[in-house]
């Protein structure tokens, strides 16, 4: 399966997958093809897609541990359509994302999962990710 960089031309197809991920978690997506085009074209996010048409994707954002002098990547989204799961596609997407992070001089990646999503937790631990319980609170303020 070819894993290739996503471009703003993938926004319409990517939107369907983003909505699929939101639905998987019982969330509503407010993303549009225009917001995805914006974020992919200006580098706010970047990532990789699997298949033509797209059946999976990973989206990445910059991350930092400034107090440690470290640069990293937040693997913000990872999703594979239900019919294409358990075929190694997510693993291939994550591997490509990790390789990309290394090429950018990053020394770590972070990824999150909804609390209670033991399938994701077990998959990430199986791929060598260290499971860390939250050590600080996060707050949100709409601007």
Output 60-64 pairs: Cβ under 8 A, ≥24 positions apart. 60/97, 60/100, 60/101, 63/108, 63/109, 63/110
**In this model, does residue 103 exceed pLDDT 70?**
yes
pLDDT tens digits, 3-25? 999 998 999 999 999 998 888 88
Does residue 122 carry a pLDDT above 90?
Answer: no
| pLDDT for 135 beyond 70 | no
Q: What structural domains does the chain harbor?
A: 3-126 (3.40.630.30)
Contact between 13 and 53 under an 8 Å Cβ cutoff? The reply is yes
Secondary structure of residue 10 in the 3-state scheme: helix
pLDDT score, position 30: 87
Arithmetic mean of pLDDT, 67-87: 91
pLDDT cut 70: percent of the chain above it? 97
The rounded distance, in Å, linking the Cα atoms of 64 and 10 is: 27
CB 6 within 8 A of CB 36: no
Is 46 strand, coil or helix?
A: strand
Residue 3's CB is within 10 A of a number of other CB atoms, namely 19
Crossing angle (nearest 10°) for helices 11-24 and 33-41: 110
pLDDT band at 41 (very low <50, low <70, confident <90, very high): very high
The pLDDT, as a whole number, for residue 2 is 92
Taking 90 as the threshold, does the pLDDT of residue 45 lie above it? Answer: yes
- Those residues whose C-beta lies under 8 Å from the C-beta of residue 86, and which sit 6 or more positions away, are none
């Amino acid at each position: 399966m070819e894993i290739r960089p996503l471009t703003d031309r993938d926004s319409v197809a990517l939107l369907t997958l983003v909505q699929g991920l939101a639905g998987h978690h019982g969330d509503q997506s407010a993303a549009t093809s225009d917001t995805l085009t914006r974020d992919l074209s200006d580098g706010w996010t970047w990532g990789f897609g699997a298949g033509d048409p797209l059946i999976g994707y990973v989206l990445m954002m910059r991350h930092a541990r400034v107090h440690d002098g470290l640069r990293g990547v937040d693997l913000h989204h990872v999703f594979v359509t239900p019919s294409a799961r358990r075929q190694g596609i997510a693993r291939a997407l994550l591997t490509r994302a990790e390789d990309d992070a290394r090429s950018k001089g990053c020394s770590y990646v972070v990824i999150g999962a909804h609390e209670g999503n033991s399938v994701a937790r077990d998959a990430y631990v199986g791929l060598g990710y260290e499971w860390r319980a939250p050590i600080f609170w996060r707050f949100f303020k709409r601007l």
